[in-house]
Chain A
């Protein structure tokens, strides 16, 4: 499809349990400055349109989309907010560019969750007010129910989930921006306290502040802006049933639907063969396995075997969450998708340092909006060798 669209610049700020002293605007300004420097663009002249991704309740401000233009260099310019994960913003940018409405688009997502004092209440407020909220339980219960249903359906065990948590937290040791790196063994995870059993404390990503800004451009401009374009080969998104009663439990069918669209656009026929590395949602450890399964990268049993044999490590057949994932980098909420895209862009540019994956040409990025949602987006990226 024409024109081809590339990531030509990316910048981040924060990625810490707390970014004390910096306001959310300053956090966004810092990430935007770096992204524009990376792309060598002046936002006041060169960026045609801006897309932000945020949710009012998490920001503590009504009509939050009014609060974003100034710190991005977007005053008096086309700006829109998508109330979703950052990858939905990337999909929106793709449409803006493909439709000819813009040639260069900046996409932003952030988390200033350390300022949120009642996060549990906000998440619970996302549950059905008549049939679910009166039960008085946190949205985290949804993760516990889904994990148990997933283990029952697949025959996987708590040990497999503990191995994911250990892998990702340990991977984060090689990622200088990770907020929660730790030398953790699966036994430590299994010994950690249950929060919503079978889900345990060390299987839940810790909260973090951070911001990521991505600059995307049509092919005609991409050549001027970067020597190492990372091509956006495909994007797809999908929502399952919002209703707890009638959704598919233990299975991320909405991720499978999003992936089908992204793969079709990217011309991916055998993801297991064609994908060189993946950054997928692991806000709860079991979700990594559930999402990989939905992404068509293996059966649950096959993936568990790969996990046990180290094939999901940086030097394995299918490196997954080499960045440390959300478990290692921290849960950045609406910025999770862009944090994963950041990692993949660095890998495809060969700039991932200690954790550089060999022969990284095509990367898969997936995000999920967290409990109690069933919304996901999938993006396929490739460097010059991967297209």
Chain B
């Protein structure tokens, strides 16, 4: 057995880092989704008739049966909260000043769910199964990004 180090802080270490930068191609399907979102504020999905399953965002292919799909189904803007979580820590475990809430929402017309922030859930505790609606950025501020969606808001609160 080798001797255990008594003072780990004093062990010699060599620092190293590596800049990682990429650009990602959303592809034909991703481009259709992001363009419709930016230009029309529409949320597009892809329907696989054989599987009776509607994807969101759009897909070029069905992961269930391998069929080729097209972008053509408009979804939402309302939907149902399938799950949510409240984050209290950041990327490396550091405490956050304000908790963040994320939700999985099955938009009306979709089978897949969309992941996004839940906006200011307020004092009423969120509940799985409740109705929410997509909140979009103002048209002139949209860039063709998933962040053109600001998040989901509880639908009842919207109609007050």
Residue numbers in A under 8 Å from B22 (CB-CB): 129
Residue numbers in B under 8 Å from A147 (CB-CB): 85
Q: Decide: A119 and B89 in contact? CB cutoff 8 A.
A: no
Q: Is A184 an interface residue (CB 8 A)?
A: no
Given contacts A18-B8, A120-B92, contact A245 B18 (CB under 8 A): no
Q: Decide: A241 and B86 in contact? CB cutoff 8 A.
A: no
Q: Decide: A135 and B117 in contact? CB cutoff 8 A.
A: yes
Q: Decide: A130 and B26 in contact? CB cutoff 8 A.
A: yes
Residue numbers in A under 8 Å from B13 (CB-CB): 115
Residue numbers in B under 8 Å from A245 (CB-CB): 55-57, 112-115
Q: Is A152 an interface residue (CB 8 A)?
A: yes
Q: Decide: B84 and A140 in contact? CB cutoff 8 A.
A: no
Digit string of B58-99 for contact with A (CB within 8 Å is 1, else 0)? 000001000000000000000000111111111111000000
Partner of B85, one of A134, A141, A246: A141
Q: Decide: B92 and A119 in contact? CB cutoff 8 A.
A: yes
Q: Is B52 an interface residue (CB 8 A)?
A: no
Query: Measured between alpha carbons, how far is A243 from B112 in the docked complex, in Å?
Result: 10
Q: Is A295 an interface residue (CB 8 A)?
A: no
Q: Decide: B92 and A121 in contact? CB cutoff 8 A.
A: yes
Given contacts A121-B91, A149-B104, A195-B89, contact A130 B83 (CB under 8 A): no
Number of interface residues of B (CB under 8 A): 44
Q: Which of A71-79, A168-176, A196-204 contacts B (4 or more CB under 8 A)?
A: A196-204
Q: Decide: A152 and B57 in contact? CB cutoff 8 A.
A: no
Nearest CB on B from A115, distance (A)? 8
Q: Is A124 an interface residue (CB 8 A)?
A: yes
Residue numbers in B under 8 Å from A243 (CB-CB): 63, 112
Nearest CB on B from A323, distance (A)? 21
Q: Decide: B83 and A145 in contact? CB cutoff 8 A.
A: yes
Q: Decide: B114 and A20 in contact? CB cutoff 8 A.
A: no
Residue numbers in A under 8 Å from B83 (CB-CB): 145-146, 148-149, 152, 249-250
Nearest B-chain residue to A30, judged by Cβ: B2
Nearest CB on B from A25, distance (A)? 13
Q: Is A264 an interface residue (CB 8 A)?
A: no
Q: Decide: B89 and A145 in contact? CB cutoff 8 A.
A: no
Number of interface residues of A (CB under 8 A): 44
Residue numbers in A under 8 Å from B86 (CB-CB): 144, 194, 196-197
Query: Measured between alpha carbons, how far is A243 from B113 in the docked complex, in Å?
Result: 10
Q: Decide: B92 and A199 in contact? CB cutoff 8 A.
A: no
Residue numbers in A under 8 Å from B55 (CB-CB): 245-246
Digit string of B7-39 for contact with A (CB within 8 Å is 1, else 0)? 010010100101010101010001000100000
Q: Is A60 an interface residue (CB 8 A)?
A: yes
Residue numbers in A under 8 Å from B102 (CB-CB): 135, 137, 141, 144-145
Q: Is A63 an interface residue (CB 8 A)?
A: no
Q: Decide: B92 and A249 in contact? CB cutoff 8 A.
A: no
List 21 A-B residue pairs with CB atoms under 8 Å apart, sorted by A's residue number. A118-B92, A120-B90, A125-B20, A140-B87, A141-B85, A141-B87, A144-B86, A145-B84, A147-B85, A148-B83, A148-B84, A149-B128, A194-B86, A194-B88, A197-B85, A197-B86, A241-B63, A245-B55, A245-B115, A246-B111, A249-B83
Nearest CB on B from A118, distance (A)? 7
Residue numbers in B under 8 Å from A198 (CB-CB): 85
Given contacts A22-B2, A149-B104, contact A196 B57 (CB under 8 A): no
Query: Measured between alpha carbons, how far is A135 from B82 in the docked complex, in Å?
Result: 18
Nearest CB on B from A191, distance (A)? 15
Q: Decide: B87 and A137 in contact? CB cutoff 8 A.
A: yes
Given contacts A120-B93, A148-B83, A196-B86, contact A135 B16 (CB under 8 A): no
Q: Is A82 an interface residue (CB 8 A)?
A: no
Nearest B-chain residue to A62, judged by Cβ: B18
Digit string of B113-139 for contact with A (CB within 8 Å is 1, else 0)? 111110000000000100000000000
